[in-house]
């Protein structure tokens, strides 16, 4: 089996995907814009071959890379990046070379445009927020009519995009005027504001669209606040085998599985985000209800796959490789489950406890720690520490100790 991995060196820890694929006998062929000498040693050890492309947005150069591999190794079975940035390029290359194990360009809008995702969410039985799409000054009157329906604040963000870039709330008429005075570089989605916390449905599905592994990530503080307000933050990975304090796990898993079916996801990782309402929202739901936010047809970002590993005592990388190689997960999914916590600090903030004190108190629970590279730190904070606990209360106490200010 020939698996082309697009941009396997970014993020750096992506060598783990390649290692797991290679360990199942899969021929992994890399295409990327990092010079060969800059690749992680574990990546070079696992790739069969690496093709350097100076500019990965150059369609001709990318096609030449795939054609080279096809001529040398034969039929290409998969073209994947597991990276939001390259999903459209993955799809374009699949269509060009007749690779049918993944999305094609005609599928992109319904998994990339937040406005178009809503139909698939509805088919899966998930509630969705009311919205409009605005493209510029000519849509201001529509926006004002929308506010009459849902009230201030409303939330705006690029209709196609990832992360919290240029995402913010509009709280009053003055802010609405300011928003429409600038030229919008692309269409924006304007949604009713929801007071809630993000809980994601994460996992891997097989070639029939059946979820083969799933778990949840819980984000008490929205990432847009972390980015826009300079906050530190925490999030948790929780297996469906454990009690959850913010959402009904039975109903959440049921809807999550139905949503995956509705989106037509096959043989890939997914990261589907929902808001859990902190209070009743007329016209939408009651406190504790969950409302669909957006889908991401790849593994969760940053080092979250490692947190998933610690929470479920399984390698998500191996589970994914099993699905690619055998269309079923063969690693043991029945090992102990934990509340896995990811606490984060910012360099600009001062903390009461040193890293040494954290390790002295919680050393047996800590799984990994370190500093994020700059491109991740801009969103996720500068320093992270992952730990596991038997109860959510213990995980909360750990986070309080890590992020306690003087």
Q: Residue 292: is it exposed, middle or buried by C-beta count within 10 angstroms (0-12/13-18/19+)?
A: buried
Beta bridge partners of residue 366, listed in sequence order: 387
Mean of all residue pLDDT scores within the chain:
95
Instruction: Give me the pLDDT at residue 228, please.
Output: 81
Q: Are residues 203 and 176 in the same domain?
A: no
Maximum pairwise Cα distance, the chain: 62
Q: Are residues 206 and 181 in the same domain?
A: no
Whether 156 contacts 188, CB under 8 Å? yes
Residue 396, domain CATH: 3.30.470.20
Instruction: Give me the pLDDT at residue 162, please.
Output: 60
Instruction: Give me the pLDDT at residue 322, please.
Output: 98
Looking only at the bridges linking them, the beta strands covering 290-296 and 268-277 are: antiparallel
Extract the residue ranges of the chain whose pLDDT is less than 50. 164
Determine the Cα–Cα distance for residues 256 and 202; give it in Å rounded to an integer.
9
Of the candidates 311, 299, 302, the residue with the CA atom closest to the CA atom of residue 336: 311
Q: Residue 41: is it exposed, middle or buried by C-beta count within 10 angstroms (0-12/13-18/19+)?
A: exposed
Whether 269 contacts 204, CB under 8 Å? yes
In a domain, 155, yes or no: yes
- Which residues form the domain of 49? 2-110
In a domain, 373, yes or no: yes
Q: Residue 209: is it exposed, middle or buried by C-beta count within 10 angstroms (0-12/13-18/19+)?
A: middle
Domain boundary, last residue among 173, 192, 211? 192
In a domain, 121, yes or no: no
Instruction: Give me the pLDDT at residue 163, please.
Output: 52
Of the candidates 309, 300, 301, the residue with the CA atom closest to the CA atom of residue 368: 309
**Structural domain total, the chain:** 3
Determine the Cα–Cα distance for residues 47 and 69; give it in Å rounded to an integer.
13
Helix (H, G, I), strand (E, B), or coil: what is residue 162?
Answer: coil
Helix (H, G, I), strand (E, B), or coil: what is residue 101?
Answer: coil
Instruction: Give me the pLDDT at residue 378, please.
Output: 86
What CA dihedral angle connects 226, 230, 232 and 236, to 10 degrees?
A: 0
Whether 179 contacts 129, CB under 8 Å? no
Mind listing the pLDDT tens digit for each residue in 148-186?
999 999 999 999 876 545 788 999 999 999 999 999 999
């Amino acid at each position: 089996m020939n698996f082309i991995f697009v941009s396997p060196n970014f993020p750096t820890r992506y060598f783990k995907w390649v290692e797991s694929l290679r360990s199942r006998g899969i021929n992994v062929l890399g295409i990327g814009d990092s010079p060969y000498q800059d690749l992680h040693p574990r990546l070079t050890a696992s790739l069969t071959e690496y093709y350097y492309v100076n500019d990965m947005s150059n369609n001709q150069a990318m096609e030449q890379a795939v054609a080279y591999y096809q001529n040398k190794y034969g039929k290409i079975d998969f073209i994947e990046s597991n990276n939001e940035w390259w999903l459209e390029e993955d799809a374009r290359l699949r269509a060009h070379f007749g690779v049918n194990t993944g999305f094609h360009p005609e599928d992109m809008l319904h998994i990339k445009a937040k406005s178009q995702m809503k139909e698939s969410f509805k088919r899966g039985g998930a509630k969705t927020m009311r919205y409009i799409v605005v493209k510029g000054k000519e849509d201001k009157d529509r926006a004002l009519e929308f506010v009459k329906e849902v009230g201030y604040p409303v939330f705006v963000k690029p209709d196609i995009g990832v992360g919290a870039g240029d995402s913010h709330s509009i709280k009053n008429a003055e802010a609405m005027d300011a928003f429409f005075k600038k030229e919008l570089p692309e269409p924006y989605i304007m949604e009713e504001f929801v007071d809630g916390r993000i809980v994601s449905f994460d996992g891997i599905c097989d070639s029939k669209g059946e979820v083969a592994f799933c778990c949840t990530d819980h984000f008490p503080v929205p990432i847009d606040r972390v980015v826009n307000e300079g906050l530190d933050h925490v999030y948790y990975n929780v297996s469906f085998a454990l009690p959850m304090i913010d959402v009904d796990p039975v109903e959440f898993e049921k809807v999550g599985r139905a949503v995956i079916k509705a989106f037509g996801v096959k043989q890939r990782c997914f990261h589907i985000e929902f808001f859990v309402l902190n209070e009743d929202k007329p016209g939408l739901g009651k406190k504790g209800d969950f409302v669909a936010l957006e889908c991401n047809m790849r593994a969760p970002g940053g080092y979250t796959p490692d947190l998933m590993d610690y929470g479920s005592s399984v390698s998500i990388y191996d589970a994914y490789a099993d699905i690619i190689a055998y269309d079923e997960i063969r690693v043991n999914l029945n090992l102990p489950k934990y509340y896995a916590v990811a606490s984060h600090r910012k360099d600009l903030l001062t903390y009461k406890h040193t890293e040494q004190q954290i390790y002295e108190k919680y050393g047996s629970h800590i799984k990994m720690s370190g500093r994020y590279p700059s491109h991740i730190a801009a969103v996720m904070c500068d320093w992270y520490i992952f730990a596991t606990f038997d109860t959510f209360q213990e995980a909360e106490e750990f986070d309080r100790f890590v992020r306690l200010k003087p």
